């Protein structure tokens, strides 16, 4: 397998400055992804107050970008298996930046939902492209850390969104949070256009697959449409399905916590500033969780860490509401929950690209992340529906903690990647 020989050559050598530069750029792209994806969580209360939105309307608004991310992951990202990872990333950033800026002039629920959906399409493409490009840039002994740094960067972007909301919500209004995010996204697009290089693994695969004697991992021709049947072929479908179902459940819990915690804190008597601080602490814990996963993956294994993170998180989520009366204890629980949630996602991001060969890697990762995003899409809307049905905050957190237990069961019984 020529493609695998190239992968082994990268695995055996030390990381070069060029490899680290590519990984660093992908980190920047994921900062932007986190900011653009979760900015609605920090502006949702202000938008709902200004436009008089119900719980289900706000939930739909929070889900709009996630619908776009699923579509971008499943249908836009596979283009990278034909045309390259670099064009996908630059195109995705361009779409996201434009829609973020246009959100500044949105006039109602429908226009804002449409722009959030289009933003999500770009974000989904960037998320998959950055994950795969990082995997293909990194040597084996640094791969877990490199991919964990991408998750850390996403959490950093979410924190940046909280900071922007804290600065702009009270003084200039929520629209300026989106405007600032759009300008930052355009800076990332320019950086990618100037300095990002294509994956050598992709270039080698394209060259070998175009030759008279194609390599064994040329599952699909380099210029053909992605054939999703290959992702469910014998020996492959179990890994694809188990990763997708686990990701669905983890995202179901993650986006409830990240999207609704600031708003639920406001509904339970906290000020908007305190709620923003709570959201930032969730993200700050997430950055540490991603880093711990990256540092521990090579020693303990990504799957073992993922299982432990899920079980502990299910326990902590049930304590989120009881400890809310004590601000210091609430900070600790919120920080720890963010740590475990993001650590679990970082572990899954490490496992996913290992499950697919180069020629179908972005198609496979895109499908897994896209199907997993269905959980993220449903989560805020389901929470809004339950909130309108007069569920308590405790009931909501207990319900979503159950998703983490089910995900842990899937990981325990799941495939053998990682």
Model confidence at 8, in pLDDT bands (50, 70, 90)? very low
Give me the residue label for tokens 């697919």: 356
DSSP-based three-state secondary structure for 169: coil
Complete domains list, the chain, with CATH: 2-202+236-413 (1.20.1250.20)
Residue from 407, 400, 299 nearest 348 by CA: 407
Residue from 395, 377, 392 nearest 63 by CA: 377
Model confidence at 235, in pLDDT bands (50, 70, 90)? confident
How many Cβ atoms are within 10 Å of 166's Cβ, its own excluded? 18
Query: How far separated are the first and last CA of the chain, in Å rounded?
Result: 20
Q: Where are the alpha helices (DSSP H) in 301-326?
A: 302-317
Judged against a pLDDT cut of 70, whether residue 403 lies above it is answered with yes
Judged against a pLDDT cut of 60, whether residue 103 lies above it is answered with yes
Judged against a pLDDT cut of 90, whether residue 183 lies above it is answered with yes
Kindly state the tokens that stand for 89: 């990333």
Give me the residue label for tokens 């959030």: 116
Segment of 46-60, 99-113, 385-399, 401-415 carrying the highest mean pLDDT? 99-113
Q: What is the pLDDT of residue 328?
A: 72
Q: What is the pLDDT of residue 274?
A: 61
Task: List, for residues 153-169, the tens digit of each pLDDT value.
Answer: 887 888 788 888 888 87
Give me the residue label for tokens 């699923």: 70
Which of 9-13, 122-126, 127-131, 300-304 is predicted least confidently?
9-13
Task: List, for residues 27-42, the tens digit of each pLDDT value.
Answer: 999 999 989 988 888 8
Number of helices followed by number of strands (H, E) in the chain: 15, 0
Task: List, for residues 86-96, the tens digit of each pLDDT value.
Answer: 999 999 999 99
DSSP-based three-state secondary structure for 315: helix
Residue from 210, 211, 189 nearest 90 by CA: 189
Task: List, for residues 187-213, the tens digit of each pLDDT value.
Answer: 999 999 999 988 888 888 777 666 555
pTM summary value: 0.77
Q: What is the pLDDT of residue 413?
A: 72
Judged against a pLDDT cut of 60, whether residue 3 lies above it is answered with no
Model confidence at 417, in pLDDT bands (50, 70, 90)? very low
Q: Where are the alpha helices (DSSP H) in 138-267?
A: 140-168, 175-195, 200-209, 237-267
Q: What is the pLDDT of residue 270?
A: 61
Q: What mean pLDDT do residues 53-62 have?
A: 83
Planar angle of CA 112, 124, 223, nearest 5 degrees: 130
Q: What is the pLDDT of residue 168?
A: 85
> What percent of the chain is helix, strand and coil (3-state, nearest 5)?
85, 0, 15
- The DSSP symbol for 72 reads I
Q: What is the pLDDT of residue 196?
A: 92
- The DSSP symbol for 79 reads G
Q: What is the pLDDT of residue 181?
A: 93
């Amino acid at each position: 397998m020529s493609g695998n020989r190239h992968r082994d050559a990268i695995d055996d050598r030390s990381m070069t400055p060029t490899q680290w530069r590519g990984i660093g750029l992908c980190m920047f792209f994921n900062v932007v992804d986190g900011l653009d994806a979760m900015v609605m969580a920090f502006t949702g209360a202000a938008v709902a107050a200004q436009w008089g939105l119900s719980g289900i309307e706000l939930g739909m608004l929070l889900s709009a970008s996630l619908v776009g991310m699923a579509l971008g992951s499943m249908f836009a990202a596979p283009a990278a298996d034909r045309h390259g990872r670099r064009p996908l990333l630059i195109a995705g950033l361009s779409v996201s930046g434009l829609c973020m800026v246009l959100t500044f002039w949105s006039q109602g629920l429908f226009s804002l939902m449409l722009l959030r959906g289009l933003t999500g399409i770009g974000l989904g493409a960037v998320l998959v492209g950055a994950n795969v490009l990082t995997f293909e840039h990194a040597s084996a002994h640094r791969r877990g850390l490199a991919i964990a740094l991408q998750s850390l960067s996403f959490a950093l972007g979410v924190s940046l969104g909280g900071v922007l909301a804290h600065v702009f919500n009270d003084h200039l209004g929520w629209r300026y949070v989106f405007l600032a995010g759009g300008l930052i996204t355009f800076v990332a697009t320019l950086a990618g256009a100037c300095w990002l290089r294509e994956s050598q693994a992709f270039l080698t695969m394209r060259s070998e697959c175009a030759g008279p004697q194609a390599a064994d991992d040329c599952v699909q021709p380099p210029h053909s449409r992605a054939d999703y049947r290959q992702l469910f072929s014998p020996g492959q479908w179990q890994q694809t399905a188990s990763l997708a179902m686990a990701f669905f459940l983890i995202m179901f819990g993650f986006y409830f916590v990240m999207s609704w915690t600031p708003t639920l804190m406001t509904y339970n008597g906290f000020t908007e500033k305190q709620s923003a601080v709570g959201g930032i602490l969730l993200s700050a814990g997430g950055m540490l969780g991603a880093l711990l996963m990256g540092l521990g993956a090579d020693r303990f294994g990504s799957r073992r860490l993922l299982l432990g993170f899920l079980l502990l998180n299910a326990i902590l989520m049930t304590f989120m509401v009881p400890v809310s009366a004590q601000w210091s204890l609430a900070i600790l629980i919120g920080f720890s929950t963010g740590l475990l949630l993001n650590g679990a996602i970082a572990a899954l991001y490490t496992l996913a690209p290992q499950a697919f060969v180069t020629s179908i890697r972005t198609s496979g990762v895109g499908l897994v992340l896209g199907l997993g995003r269905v959980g993220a899409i449903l989560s805020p809307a389901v929470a809004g529906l339950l909130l309108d049905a007069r569920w308590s905050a405790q009931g909501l957190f207990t319900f979503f903690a159950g998703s983490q237990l089910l995900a842990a069961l899937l990981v325990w019984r799941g495939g053998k990647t990682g």
